[in-house]
Amino acid sequence: MKVRFAPSPTGDLHVGNIRTALFDWAYARHTGGTFLFRIEDTDTTRVTDEYINAAIDTLKWLGLDWDEGPEVGGDNGPYLQSMRLDIYAHWASKFIEQKDAYYCYCSPEELETVREAQRAANQAPGYNGHCRDLTLDQIEEYKTEGRIPVVRMRMPDGKTTFNDLIRGEMEFDHKFVPDFVLVRGDGSPLYTLAVAVDDVLMKVTHILRGEDLLSSTPRQIRVYQAMGVALEEYPIFAHLPFVMGADNAKLSKRNGEVSIAWYRDKGFLPEAICNYLALLGWSPGEDRENVTMKELSELFTVERVNSSPARFDMKKLEAINGDKIRALTIDEFLTWALPFLIKSKIITGTPEEIVLVKRALPLIQERIIMFSEIPAMLKFLFVKEVTVEADSMAQITDLSAKDVLRRSLKELELMSDWTHANIEAALRASLVEELGLKPRIAFGALRIATTGSKISPPLFESMELLGKAASLARISAALIL
Ligand code: GLU
Ligand code: ZN
């Protein structure tokens, strides 16, 4: 068994790509086969080195390790199509020799005229076979005219059938699969040629990929045929259902966040992304929603892949991410949190800061759904003084708030053992019991005074971490606002 993931990185890998990669990986791991990673970069105008490196990095970050491909190598490389151009050229000329393919001299304008006529006659648009059997004289004439030919594959009359592991028996009538271009006028190969040649030469046995590529399958099978591959050696196809947005349109930038880089920046865990994407079209059974990578590789079968489209649900991904964050040990949580705090310049990363962050993290572990929320929540611990948020100002400048702050100050000044339990006991006694204030009112003012915001980690624990001196200084400062 050899399963491959073969993206054309014309941008950051998106949710659909990664769902495919994940299923490819899981299928290979489940069967004990090989996971091959190939970069399809023959479209050099759209695929850049930056995107290629980002794709490699993303797969690594997600934990989708590959057995053959960039960086790890293998017996069937190179694994970048741009380094295999001579191989595609070799096969293209072989196809011409065998008369499976031919030179087509039609100009783009002529092709467009044909298409227009087809449209007018209500026929399916496609190449009309004009250059299939040119005479030598015609070829000479075209050459003297200076025409640059493309190489076109001859599609014989008939049908292509194959058994798709997810969609079942598929049949394509060649009436709707016109002769197609293999090599452009400038000598560069098209996707259909490169992908099919590579899948054969790299000994790929299973092709799990997005449904958008279903219609290119008969053309790829035609290339296998021309390469002389025996029928029983053809790779087996499985086309995965589309991932739809909440509005039932195909998931795109327009109706959802599609770039995996975005999720990474927001602070989603790779395991959460993989767990959630695994559920898009596949199910471990028994309504389970929590799967680890290990379980996925143990449980994944193509039989359990659904053929109907899957709907992307951000809320569910967030819930899974929150669960995975809560399951982290404090040291793991710390490792994830630090880069977010450093990047937003809340800390520089000194040992003292790290000690304080580590003490603060348990206070917020239950409360966040992604790491990017951490800087705003812990900022109050690392600033000299807080700036009270504009929409909280009224709440601490009114008279009852001033009273709360004054009394709190008096209570707290006397405290020798500065623990959250002591702080809470003292303040409850004085503000809630004696003054008869509602806790929300009493502690709301203190929260704003000490953290600057209406939303913070638990108040008494926050004050403990902030320390006595800083807490009292902030309450005093709030009194003169
Ligand atoms: N490189 C193709 C793409 O990213 C996919 C190739 C394949 O899976 O067959 O669209
Ligand atoms: Zn032609």
Q: Which CATH number describes the domain made up of 390-479? A: 1.10.10.350
* pLDDT at site 46: 87
Cα-to-centroid distance, 131 and ligand 2 (Å): 4
Cα-to-centroid distance, 73 and ligand 1 (Å): 20
Question: What's 328-382's CATH class?
Answer: mainly alpha
In contact, 305 and 240? CB cutoff 8 Å: yes
The answer on pLDDT for 43 being more than 90 is no
* pLDDT at site 397: 85
Nearest bound ligand to CA 152?
2
Of these residues, 159, 175, 253, 438, which one is catalytic? 253
Q: Which is the CATH superfamily of the domain at 2-80+243-311?
A: HUPs (3.40.50.620)
Atom of ligand 1 nearest to the CA of 5: 8
In contact, 307 and 263? CB cutoff 8 Å: no
Ligand 1 pocket test: pick from 2, 8, 58 the residue with the most ligand atoms within 8 Å of its Cβ.
8
Nearest bound ligand to CA 213?
1
Sequence-distant (6+) residues with CB within 8 A of 24 are 3, 4, 5, 35, 208
Ligand 1 pocket at CB < 6 A: 6-8, 40, 195, 209, 213
Cα-to-centroid distance, 384 and ligand 1 (Å): 53
Cα-to-centroid distance, 476 and ligand 1 (Å): 63
Query: Are β-strands 168-173 and 180-183 bridged in parallel, bridged antiparallel, or unpaired?
Result: unpaired
* pLDDT at site 258: 87
In contact, 44 and 74? CB cutoff 8 Å: no
Q: Average pLDDT of 401-415?
A: 94
Q: Average pLDDT of 264-289?
A: 93
Domain map (residue ranges) of the chain? 2-80+243-311, 84-240, 328-382, 390-479
* pLDDT at site 285: 82
* pLDDT at site 247: 84
Domain 2-80+243-311 and domain 84-240, same fold? Reply is yes
Atom of ligand 1 nearest to the CA of 17: 4
Q: Average pLDDT of 308-315?
A: 92
Among residues 360, 300, 356, 305, which one has the least CA distance to residue 26? 300
Question: What's 84-240's CATH class?
Answer: alpha beta
Ligand 1 pocket test: pick from 40, 200, 219, 224 the residue with the most ligand atoms within 8 Å of its Cβ.
40
The answer on pLDDT for 60 being more than 80 is yes
H or E segment and range at residue 169: strand 168-173
Q: What pTM was estimated for this model as a whole? A: 0.92
The answer to whether 175 is a known catalytic residue is no
pLDDT tens column, 334-386: 999 999 999 999 999 999 999 999 999 999 999 999 999 999 999 999 999 89
Q: Average pLDDT of 379-405?
A: 90
The answer on pLDDT for 429 being more than 80 is yes
User: Across 232-373, where does the E strand assignment appear?
Assistant: 236-240, 243-244, 310-311
